[in-house]
Amino acid sequence: MRAQSPPAETPEVREILKRYREIWAVNYARALISWDMETYMPEAASRERGEVRAELSKMVQRLMTHPEFVSLVESARPANDFERGVVRVLKRDIEYYQKLPPEFVEEEARVTTEAFKAWEKAKEKSDFESFAPHLERVFDLQRRKAEYLGYEDHPYDALLDRYEEGLTVRDCERIFSVAGELSDLFKKVRERYPERHPLEDEGYDRRDVERLNRHVLTLLGFDFSRGRVDVSAHPFTQEVGLYDVRITTWYHGRDFRRSLLAAVHEFGHAAYEMNVDESYWATPVQGGVSYGVHESQSRFWENVVARSRAYVETLYWDMRAVLPFLSRYSPEEVYEYFTLVRPELIRVEADEVHYPLHVYLRYRIEKMVMEEAVGVGELPQLWGDMMEELVGVRPEKDSEGVLQDVHWSLGYVGYFPTYAIGSFLAAQVARALGRVEERVRARDFSGLMAWLRERVHRWGSVYPPRELIRRATGEDLNPERFLEYLREKYLA
């Protein structure tokens, strides 16, 4: 199956990788049942699925913290970058599992499984009150987790670090320091666009957009022999294994870009996982290094590529061949539709200009809840106030506000800031790559992918995210690059 054996030179690391195979296999199973939970699992199976997830989580913890395995990792003397990456990743995971009591790991898996199903129902009915008790338990678990894991300055730091290695509240404050400039830029740009575009109201046959999605994904380079496209309430990517990467999108019957851009976004995640060096298969460094770097790949393909003038113009006839109503619109009108800038209530439907403001809102709320400065019952009101302040609109129902995202139900507290990191880093990657529009216009998607594969994807988790960012772009994460990208694209 593999092109070559892992580049391990020392006997200790070879033994570590041999023992790790059991952990890898359990994680493979966990990934598969998680994908099923969010796609096709029967509603009545949630409690039973929670028990299974809890047992598998405890199994991983037992294997990861086995004294012999821990001793091997702690005594290892890595001889190359690959081995250093393996030891670094495992030391982080071992420390995580050593600090969390097994009963806590079991409780978290059970609580979040039930919370996810409760969130699905609550969102459908726009009923926050029914979800609130579950969310109370989730945030209580996350505060307890922070105490178990430990932190220096802020309890939120312990959770941020799980999604973006080394990330702290102090880093987030620096990253979001551009929020004011971004808000001003958004207000300038939105004046240039209509409140609504007629293409948003054009209905479509789902089969046609499914065909368009598959065509576009094939052009971009999605390997259907190693992946599949399904439907879910919230588009996502699930890396089951190096040869099994699954993405989802959604269909609404109108406004086709919502489905297409979601598919392209998830393609970016999938490409990262599929392009990891095959010699890293079944090792601790097989997956992407962090959620922020991962998000940069999806935002690159969704925004830098698929929302570019070159993309719309070069794929105009492809889209028109599948969607006959496009014959009534010029390429320029379709480009305007793809790049609409206006206040949106829903994060995943927000334009690239003010999308990070949505993320900033969630960061501020999570930080306050972790500090217990606000209670769960206050969140709908607080959400509305902050949305009005940052974006200029206020949700009329919970499904458009505090219930719109799945993350909290799954216990993913500390995840949201990585979305802003991803947006900012995507612009930085585009700048380092160069000639993106030219390559898109020539349909040289394989050329773009080759650069990303060599600079980012192939390395998996070998290098820490900050080091990988410097290697790929020549500088540390720089939010100013995002502002430069937006000004050139929308104000030039």
Which residues are designated catalytic?
266
Q: Which of 165, 242, 169 is nearest to 463 (CA)?
A: 165
CA dist 156 and 426 (Å) reads 25
Q: Strand order in 244-249's β-sheet?
A: 227-231, 244-249, 237-241
The answer to whether residues 260 and 213 touch, using CB atoms and an 8 Å cutoff, is: yes
Question: Kind of pairing, strands 244-249 and 227-231?
Answer: parallel
Q: How far is CA 127 from the centre of its chain?
A: 26
Q: How far apart are CA 334 and CA 320, in angstroms?
A: 10
Q: Which of these, 362, 317, 355, lies nearest to 339 by C-alpha position?
A: 355
Cβ pair 297, 269 in contact under 8 A: yes
d(CA 231, CA 191): 35
Residue 424 has which token pair?
């900012």
Q: Which amino acid is at 171?
A: D
Is 135 exposed, middle or buried (CB count within 10 Å of its CB: 0-12, 13-18, 19+)? Answer: buried
DSSP 254: B
Tell me the three-class secondary structure of 111-133, residue by residue.
HHHHHHHHHHHHHHHCCHHHHHH
| Cα–Cα distance for residue pair 444/51, rounded to 1 Å | 47
Mention every residue, 6+ apart, whose C-beta is less than 8 A from residue 288: 239, 269, 272, 273, 276, 294, 297, 460, 461
Paired with 237 in beta bridges are 247
CA distance 336 to 316: 13
* CA distance linking residue 166 with residue 92, whole number of Å: 11
DSSP state of 245: E
